[in-house]
Each structure stands twice: as C-alpha cells, then as structure tokens.
Amino acid sequence: MPHSHHGHAHVDPEAGDARVFWAVLVNLGLTVAQIVGGILSGSLALIADAIHNLSDALALIIAFFARKIARRDADETMTFGYGRAEIVAALINYTTLIVIGLYLIYEAALRIIDPQGVDGWMVVIIAGVALVVDVVTALLTFSLSKESMNIRAAFLHNVADALGSVAVIFAGTLIILYDWRLIDPIVTLMIAAYILWQSFAEIGGVIRILMLGTPPEMDAYKVIERMRAVDGVADVHHLHLWQMQEHENAVDAHVGIQPGRWSEADAIKQAVKERLKSEFSIAHTTLECECAIHTCSDPAIIGHGKPEEDHGHTDHQH
C-alpha cells in the first residue's frame, strides 16, 4: 500500500500551529528563568540547559513559520510549491544545535580546569521547573513530529532538554550533598554530547533532500528494473529520483517504447506510472517516451552524465 504523501495529513494544520505557538511562549519564558538562575547560582550546566532551551524556542519559531509557508500553493516563482521551507528550517535548527554543542564543550573544558562554586539548591529548583515545561512542550509537539522533519527537529530539541534538566537536577543534588563542583562541567559535557549526537544523526537526511538525493531505502536500479519489466517498455534511461518534500517522492525518466508499439505509448506510459505509484509510492512522475527509431544513442542510465554499466542490477542489455 502506498503511504500518505502529505506531511500534515493526520494533524489539522491550524490546531498544530496553536500547539507550536504555545510551546514557543512557554520555552521563551523558561529560557529567561534558567539564564538568570544559572548566572545567580554560578552553574554552567544550568546555562547550558538554558541555551538549549533558547534553541528550542528558536527551533519552534522557525518551525511555526515554516509550517505556514509550506502550505502555500505553487505559483509562477515557486512552481514546486513552498513545501521545502520546512526542510530548510530543519537544516537551520540542526546547524545551530551543532554550533551550540561545540561551544558548550569549550566552556565545560574551561570549568574542568578551573572549577567554580555553585548554588546547588537554586540549580535543582530551576531545573525541576524546566523539566516540567520540557515534558509539556514535548507532549504538545509529539504527534506533529511523526509527520514532519521540521517539527521532529523541534521535538528532539525538547527531548534533549528534558534529559538535560534531569542531568542538571542530578548535578545540583551532588553539589548540595558533597560540594562536588566538577559534576557541573561533566553534566554540561553530557548535554553537549547528546546535542551533537542527535544533530549529526538527523542532519544527513535533511541535506539529502536539499541535494535532491534518492529517497532513503529506495534502490534506483530496482526502480529501473521494475519500469523495464512493464509490457511494451524497451528501455529506461536518464533516470532522476528525488524527494520533492519529506513525504513526496518524484521520478523523471526517458522510456523507450518497443518497435511497432508506438500506438500504445500512452497506455504503456500509464502502466509505468501506476507501477511506480503502487510499488514505490512515487506520486510525481514525469516520463518522456521515445520510439525505437528516435531513442537516445548510448544514454546514461541514471542522470544525464556519461553512459554507465547496469551494475548487474537488471537483466536488460544495451
């Protein structure tokens, strides 16, 4: 069964916008409280959590506007529509997180060399409030995150924040009980490592879409093989596979029609389109049919580069 190709098919867009808006407000308020608390208590880990919270708020703000832009219809200046606004937003969010993560590692290293005094009680109380807010925000964006790479980026910010708050509470407790000052930069390093791990894990998929990469888990040669197996198709070449948006795959290719069957070209083309939709969930298909006499000479199988071998993926011989 082909899956849904619309990123927001299961969530009412306006209801989703309201959830994102409230999540932004809550996160901004929390960030201010954490930064003030971090400065007053002398805790770098609390400031690290605050910076991450600020990035949450920014992520959600970008996500909020990207969702609105992405729903605009195609026009003469953006003929593919505005759906990729969400992908660009996700790229900005992950890039920002990577920069923040590296900065926190630098600051934590300085603290390990020269540990500072920390007010443990203030840290625990503020981080406790932060944890509650993080959980509420994560719940607001959870259902939306399943549908959209953009909202998923914002949701992961929140999950990381909740874990960060737990770690900060743990650090504050150790400082209260044992005055163990090194735990503050150690927890900061843990938060930073988590931020970097999550960001690097997710940013690859975002870049792949922007670079017009083949949809993940889709084998281009398998697609060609199944297209060539359609009755009446002599050859498939100049194939391009890409994701128009996160949930919308597209293909562009030249299809050679078998000799003597040009009168059936439209029916053959339709059969190829139906196979692509049913087997690979490819909804956006552009095919150029070529008759046996006027087919491309020695074409590239994939893209428009130099001709290549079939890599043994198909039984078709040139």
How many Å apart are CA 73 and CA 61, to the nearest integer?
Answer: 21
Domain coordinates in residue numbering, the chain = 13-210, 213-318
Mean pLDDT over each residue of the chain, to the nearest integer: 82
For the ranges 62-71, 148-157, 262-271, 300-309, the maximum mean pLDDT occurs at: 262-271
How many Å apart are CA 2 and CA 103, to the nearest integer?
Answer: 44
Mean of the pLDDT values across residues 260-288?
93
Antiparallel, parallel or unpaired: β 233-245 and 248-257: antiparallel
81 sits in the region (left: phi over 0; alpha: psi -120 to 50; else beta) called left
- Mean pLDDT check: name the lowest of 185-189, 257-261, 286-290, 291-295: 291-295
Which residue would you say has higher pLDDT here, 281 or 156?
281
Percentages helix, strand, coil for the chain, rounded to the nearest 5?
Answer: 60, 10, 30
Which helix H or strand E contains 120, and what residues bound it? helix 120-145
Q: Give the CATH fold of the 13-210 domain.
A: Alpha-lytic protease prodomain-like (1.20.1510)
Superfamily, domain 213-318: Cation efflux protein, cytoplasmic domain (3.30.70.1350)
pLDDT, one tens digit per residue, over 89-137 is: 889 888 988 998 898 899 899 989 988 788 889 889 988 988 888 888 7
Encoded tokens for 291: 């008759």
pLDDT, one tens digit per residue, over 21-45 is: 777 888 788 888 888 888 888 888 8
Give the predicted TM-score (pTM) of the model: 0.72
pLDDT for res 102: 93
Encoded tokens for 27: 């996160």
